[in-house]
Amino acid sequence: MSEDIDENITSLFQRILPLATSVLLLMISYIPLDFSLFNNIRPAIGIICVYFWVNHRPDLFNLWSVYFLGLLDDIISASPFGSNILALLVLYVLITNTSRFINAKPFIVTWYWFALLSMVTMLARWLVVSVYYSQFLPLTILGFSYLVTAAAYPLVSLLLAYIQNRWIQDEE
Amino acid sequence: MKRRRSLFIHLSHIRLLAQKFALVILFISAFALMLVNKTDTVLIEKTSSAATDIVSPVIDVLVIPAKVVARFYDYFKDLKEIHADNQRLKEENRKLNNLFDRARALEIENKLLADLLNYVTPPEASFVTARVIAEEGDAFSHSIVAYIGGSKVRKGQVALSDKGVVGRVDRMGKMYARIILITDINSKIPVMVEKTRVRGILSGDNTTTPKMIFIPLDAEIAIGDRIVTSGVAGVFPAGLPVGKVVSLDKNEIRIKPFSNLDQLEYIKLVDYGLSGALVDADEGAE
């Protein structure tokens, strides 16, 4: 009986872990630091987490998780409500339709693919928000933000891969 | 066996359809949220404020270890510069003492002149000091979230740092308030050039140097001119320092804020008892 309960708790923990780590990392990314460059150009943690988990564990990080993460990002940030959700949904569609091409490929390929998809996602959001405000948003800052996001991917994915290998087991 | 297989195929087909349907619904809901936000209804504002009140305490807790690390780093960095700082502060103190004497003389003179003109002094402003717990500055928005700890704060109240205006209160929950920075695309502040009194609007565009717009064609503005609030529209009082002119182009004038908006730790939310145009907007919304 107690073994069943333990098993259920472990299974629940494993199921919520991808979303929980993404939420935690997203919140950490908003912490103010005494480092002016970082405060202006932060990596888009939401994009990194969605790309990693939808690619590696689509069973544990589904469409609703993507929506929730986007909603949370919208709540924390002051950008138009719904724009983060929209961007992450675009990324979700892109990943689910292309993940078969990068399955079991070396890390460098996954990284290049991330660089491409995150660029499309960020440009899609830039376009939507520009239409929302009826004026083009600064592309330079977006460009730097994109580069920082692409550069941060190996580090964040290393952390997420560690979490996956350490705490999430494959279903038999 | 064949029947079972066809049932399985049928079920997986339905599941795929449902998933596609859910995706479309979620896309539509995201667009709908943006449209509702655009109309700026009270509903989305209240929902967002309540949600910020729920999410912000978590970030507030996460800030603690980051601050401890940053403080250690600062401590060792400061140790290196302590002697030079001491010399600089002594010199600064000497200058400030001179300025204080001058200010006291001017204050007395001002009081005498005010009495002579029968001038009614405005009521003193009240303020709340708030700790910054979340910061955001990218191509899409520039804002901060500050802990107000249950103090009464109104929408539109001015947010100041030790150097000048940093923004205005946009949304407030019970314990936390969101402040839109002067660099944000939604920020529009009536300002003027301190020296020439030329008026304009400081308009953020999500870059680090907002633009000054709606300036008369024959206005005399030079690089380095100080920009202060003009008090037009009655939301901000006149004379609060904002920034200085850093670039003059044919089409635009860029202002660098006095406050370092990237490294705000504490801000002052000041209530000057002014609500100006915001009262009408709020009444309209209700």
Among the three residues B121, B136, B169, which one is the final residue of a domain in this structure? B121
Torsions phi, psi for B218 (to 5 deg): -95, 15
Rounded-to-integer distance, Cα B6 and Cα B4, Å: 5
For residue B8, tell me if it sits in a domain.
no
For residue B24, tell me if it sits in a domain.
no
Q: Of the ranges A39-43, A158-162, B13-17, B97-101, which is most confident?
A: A158-162
For residue B2, tell me if it sits in a domain.
no
Residue A171 pLDDT grade (very low, low, confident, very high; cuts 50, 70, 90): low
DSSP B53-86: HHHHHHHHHHHHHHHHHHHHHHHHHHHHHHHHHH
Say if residue B45 is exposed, middle or buried (CB neighbours under 10 Å; 0-12, 13-18, 19+). middle
DSSP character at residue A47: H
Residue A172 pLDDT grade (very low, low, confident, very high; cuts 50, 70, 90): very low
Q: Which residues from chain A sit within 8 angstroms of residue B186, using beta carbons? A: 78
Q: Which residues contact A117 (CB under 8 A, 6 or more apart)?
A: A51, A91, A94, A95, A98
Residues B152 and B240 in one domain: yes
Number of other residues whose CB lies within 10 A of the CB of residue A59: 10
Residues B111 and B171 in one domain: no
Task: Report the pLDDT averaged over residues A19-48.
Answer: 83
Rounded-to-integer distance, Cα A17 and Cα A164, Å: 9
pLDDT digits (tens, 9 = 90+) for B101-126: 889 888 888 888 887 787 666 667 78
Q: At what angle do helices B42-117 and A63-76 cross, to 10 degrees?
A: 10
Residues B99 and B233 in one domain: no
Mean pLDDT across chain A: 89
Long-range Cβ contact pairs of A101-106 (< 8 A, separation 24 or more): A102/A55
For residue B36, tell me if it sits in a domain.
no
Q: Which residues from chain A sit within 8 angstroms of residue B140, using beta carbons? A: 77, 79-80, 83, 125-126, 129, 137
Give residue A119's pLDDT. Answer: 96
Tally of domains within chain B: 2
Give residue B156's pLDDT. Answer: 86
Residues B240 and B136 in one domain: yes
Residues B108 and B158 in one domain: no
For residue B1, tell me if it sits in a domain.
no
Number of other residues whose CB lies within 10 A of the CB of residue B95: 9
Q: Which domain holds residue B71?
A: 59-121
pTM of the predicted protein model = 0.81
From A24, A27, A137, residue closest to B140, measured CB to CB: A137
Q: Which B residues 150-189 touch A at CB under 8 Å? A: 170, 178, 180, 184-186
Q: Which residues from chain A sit within 8 angstroms of residue B259, using beta carbons? A: none
Residues B78 and B134 in one domain: no
User: Tokens standing for A118?
Assistant: 């995150």
Give residue A107's pLDDT. Answer: 92
User: Which ranges of chain B have pLDDT less than 70?
Assistant: 1-9, 40-41, 119-123, 274-286
Q: Which residues from chain A sit within 8 angstroms of residue B70, using beta carbons? A: 33-34
Q: Which residue has better confidence, B150 or A60?
A: A60
For residue B13, tell me if it sits in a domain.
no
Residues B179 and B247 in one domain: yes
Residues B70 and B181 in one domain: no
3-state secondary structure of B102: helix
Q: At what angle do helices A107-133 and B2-39 cross, to 10 degrees?
A: 40
Q: Which A residues 27-66 touch B at CB under 8 Å? A: 27-28, 30-34, 36, 39-42, 63
For residue B37, tell me if it sits in a domain.
no
Say yes or no for a CB contact (<8 Å) between A135 and B185.
Answer: yes
Among the three residues B78, B101, B121, which one is the final residue of a domain in this structure? B121
Residues B148 and B63 in one domain: no
For residue B54, tell me if it sits in a domain.
no
Among the three residues B68, B89, B121, which one is the final residue of a domain in this structure? B121
Rounded-to-integer distance, Cα A2 and Cα B21, Å: 40
pLDDT digits (tens, 9 = 90+) for A79-110: 888 999 999 999 999 999 988 888 888 999 99
Residues B203 and B156 in one domain: yes
pLDDT surpasses 60 at A123: yes
Residues B103 and B154 in one domain: no
From A36, A79, A81, residue closest to B262, measured CB to CB: A36
DSSP character at residue B123: P
Quick one: closest CA in B to A148, which residue? B138
Rounded-to-integer distance, Cα A33 and Cα B264, Å: 9
* Residue in this structure with the two tokens 């308009």, named with its chain if needed: B203
Q: Which residues from chain A sit within 8 angstroms of residue B77, using beta carbons? A: none
Residues B175 and B276 in one domain: yes
DSSP character at residue B189: E
Closest CA to A71 of B30, B20, B180: B30
